[in-house]
């Protein structure tokens, strides 16, 4: 049998940028400003330009980006932060770390994105219970696709909620012709190595339109410092980005558009060749996905198990994002009000992600499609 296809191919990408990368890393080794060095400032400018945001503040991870954004609003005890139940754990962890309460919202069955109608219902429930103050929405752009931001913003405006876009999986995606980065009061992204734009370690960034917010983010990422290093204005954190990571990201940005296009071509090929065999992911209307994840839906968990085993035997890796919605996780059960979220619970039992990295060859795509069709 031929070798297994990698789920991610960071080595293939590294070979492509090797020369440029080496020059940039050597420049950092020469100047030795390893934290918040000049490459970090250059990266912030490039990223803001890329997504059309007025301000970009580079930070130490996507999780820290979310945390700094909520800290800047003073969100904490007694505050309800609404977020989808079907997402990565970091989205729910951050409000809890700050003493706030995550309120889990169900997702849309077709797009897997947070359901705006369900959000409105959850806000009304929290108001009626009278225990928590509805304060914020963390909308997640899941799997590379934008959430339904026009509808989410309408609910948030009616309810007076601050909006934070968790764009950790979806930097580079666009909604109604505009790249994500400006659809909410603030946008957080992640440069974890497996994200569409990944560093060689942890990293993240915050985007906003407000100069005041950007200044506060800069202060909070460096322990709440003021205009001089030893003036402390806020309770902050160590949330700074390494210069070496910024150098890696600057290098990867030179091929990022091309990689996004390659992911989109693979998604189109999967759609065309798999739609008769399995349920392919619904496209969010008038959007361009960054295709971090391409997730198919099987009829039930037994069918998913059979599919995964069949793919594995054919050397095709697959992964389950996410096997368990967050409101059912032991760590979050206590914070959850007990509401059943049927769509998240159902999707978790039968969703399956196929490889979609930009270095898949046409032969790889043929092999993946044949294996999926043979096991459907």
> Considering the rule CB under 6 A, would residue 344 count as an interface residue with ligand PLP?
no
**Can residue 87 be called a binding residue for ligand PLP (CB under 6 A)?**
yes
Taking alpha carbons only, the member of 18, 27, 89, 5 closest to residue 325 is: 89
Contact between 245 and ligand PLP by CB under 6 A: the answer reads no
- Maximum Cα–Cα distance across the chain: 64
**Total binding residues for ligand PLP by CB under 6 A?**
15
Instruction: Dump the DSSP string for 333-371.
Output: HTTS-----HHHHHHHHHEEEEP--TT--HHHHHHHHHH
Closer CB to ligand PLP, 103 or 307, in the complex: 103
Q: Does the footprint of ligand PLP cover residue 196 (CB under 6 A)? A: no
Task: Output the six-digit token pair for 251.
Answer: 């290098």
Mode of pairing for the β-strands spanning 294-297 and 351-354? antiparallel
User: Across-strand partners of 103?
Assistant: 82
Is residue 267 close enough to count as binding ligand PLP by CB under 6 A?
Answer: no
CB 56 within 8 A of CB 47: yes
* Residue 204 binds to ligand PLP (criterion: CB under 6 A): yes
CB of 199 to ligand PLP, least distance (A): 9
Please, what is the minimum distance in Å from the beta carbon of residue 204 to ligand PLP?
A: 5
Rounded to the nearest whole angstrom, what is the least distance from the CB of residue 91 to ligand PLP in the complex? 5
Note whether 164 binds ligand PLP by CB under 6 A: no
User: To the nearest whole angstrom, how small is the minimum distance from the Cβ of residue 321 to ligand PLP?
Assistant: 9
Question: Do 138 and 166 contact (CB within 8 A), yes or no?
Answer: yes
User: Which is nearer to ligand PLP, 307 or 341 (by Cβ)?
Assistant: 341
For the window 57-86, what string marks contact with ligand PLP as x by the rule CB under 6 A?
Answer: ----xxx-----------------------
Q: Which of 162, 192, 270, 322 binds ligand PLP (CB under 6 A)?
A: 192
Q: Where are the beta strands (DSSP E) in 72-197?
A: 79-84, 101-105, 133-140, 162-166, 174-175, 178-179, 186-190
Stretch that binds ligand PLP, among 51-59, 87-95, 107-115, 357-365 (CB under 6 A): 87-95
Least distance in angstroms from the C-beta of 249 to ligand PLP: 12
Residue choice 113, 190, 318, 375 for contact with ligand PLP (CB under 6 A): 190
3-state secondary structure of 71: helix
Q: Is 333 left (phi over 0), alpha (psi -120 to 50) or beta?
A: alpha
Question: Out of 108, 165, 166, 185, which residue is the one contacting ligand PLP (CB under 6 A)?
Answer: 166
As to burial, measured by CB atoms within 10 angstroms (0-12 exposed, 13-18 middle, 19+ buried), residue 275 is exposed
The per-residue DSSP string of 79-96 comes to EEEEEESSS-THHHHHHH
Coil, strand, or helix at residue 74? coil
Does 101 sit near ligand PLP (CB under 6 A)?
Answer: no
Minimum separation from the CB atom of position 93 to ligand PLP (A): 9
Pairing of strands 162-166, 186-190: parallel
Q: What is the 3-state secondary structure (H, E, C) of 41-56?
A: HHHHHHHHHHHCCCEE
Write the CB contacts of 361 (distance below 8 Å, at least 6 apart in sequence).
none
**Cβ 331 to ligand PLP shortest distance, Å:** 15
- Residue with Cβ nearer ligand PLP (16 or 221): 221
In terms of CB distance, is 63 or 111 closer to ligand PLP? 63
What's phi and psi for 132, nearest 5 deg? -120, 155
Q: Is 138 in the site for ligand PLP (CB under 6 A)?
A: no
For 206, the enclosing helix (H) or strand (E) is strand 204-208
Considering the complex, state which of residue 12 and residue 201 has its C-beta at the smaller distance from ligand PLP: 201
Which of 168, 173, 314, 369 is in the footprint of ligand PLP by CB under 6 A? 168
Whole-number minimum distance, CB 265 to ligand PLP, in Å? 23
Is there binding between residue 308 and ligand PLP (CB under 6 A)?
Answer: no
Q: Is 88 in the site for ligand PLP (CB under 6 A)?
A: yes
Applying CB under 6 A, the residues found at the interface with ligand PLP are: 61-63, 87-88, 90-91, 140, 166, 168-169, 190, 192, 202, 204
């Amino acid at each position: 049998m031929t070798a297994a296809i990698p789920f991610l191919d960071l080595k293939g990408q590294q070979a492509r940028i090797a020369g440029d990368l080496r020059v940039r890393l050597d420049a950092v080794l020469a100047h030795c400003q390893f934290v918040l060095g000049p490459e970090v400032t250059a990266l912030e400018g490039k990223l803001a330009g890329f997504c059309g945001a007025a301000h970009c503040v580079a930070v130490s991870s996507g999780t820290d980006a979310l945390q700094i954004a909520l800290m800047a609003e003073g969100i904490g005890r007694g505050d309800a932060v609404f977020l989808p139940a079907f997402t990565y754990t970091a989205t729910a962890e951050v409000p809890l770390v700050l003493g706030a309460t995550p309120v889990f919202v169900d997702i849309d069955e077709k797009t897997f994105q947070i359901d705006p109608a369900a959000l409105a219902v959850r806000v009304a429930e929290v108001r009626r219970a009278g225990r928590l103050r509805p304060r914020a929405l963390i909308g997640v752009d899941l799997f590379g696709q934008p959430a339904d931001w026009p509808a989410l913003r309408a609910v948030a405006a009616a309810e007076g909620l601050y909006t934070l876009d968790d764009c950790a999986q979806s930097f580079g995606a666009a909604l109604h012709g505009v790249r994500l980065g400006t659809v909410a009061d603030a946008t957080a992204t992640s440069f974890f190595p497996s994200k569409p734009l990944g560093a060689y370690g942890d990293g993240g960034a915050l985007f906003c339109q407000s100069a005041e917010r950007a200044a506060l983010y800069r202060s909070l990422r460096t322990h709440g410092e003021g205009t001089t290093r030893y003036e402390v204005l806020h309770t902050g954190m160590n949330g700074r980005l390494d210069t070496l990571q910024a150098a890696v990201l600057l290098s990867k940005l030179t091929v990022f558009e091309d990689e996004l296009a390659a992911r989109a071509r693979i998604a189109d090929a999967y759609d065309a060749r798999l739609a008769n065999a399995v349920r392919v992911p619904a496209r969010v209307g008038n959007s361009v996905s960054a295709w971090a994840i391409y997730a198919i839906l099987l009829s039930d968990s037994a069918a998913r198990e059979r599919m995964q085993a069949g793919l594995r035997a054919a050397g095709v890796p697959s992964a389950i994002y996410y096997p368990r919605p967050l409101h059912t996780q032991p760590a979050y059960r206590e914070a959850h009000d007990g509401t059943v979220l049927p769509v998240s619970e159902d999707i978790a039992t039968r969703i399956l992600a196929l490889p979609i990295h930009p270095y898949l060859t046409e032969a790889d795509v043929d092999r993946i499609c044949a294996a999926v069709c043979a096991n459907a």
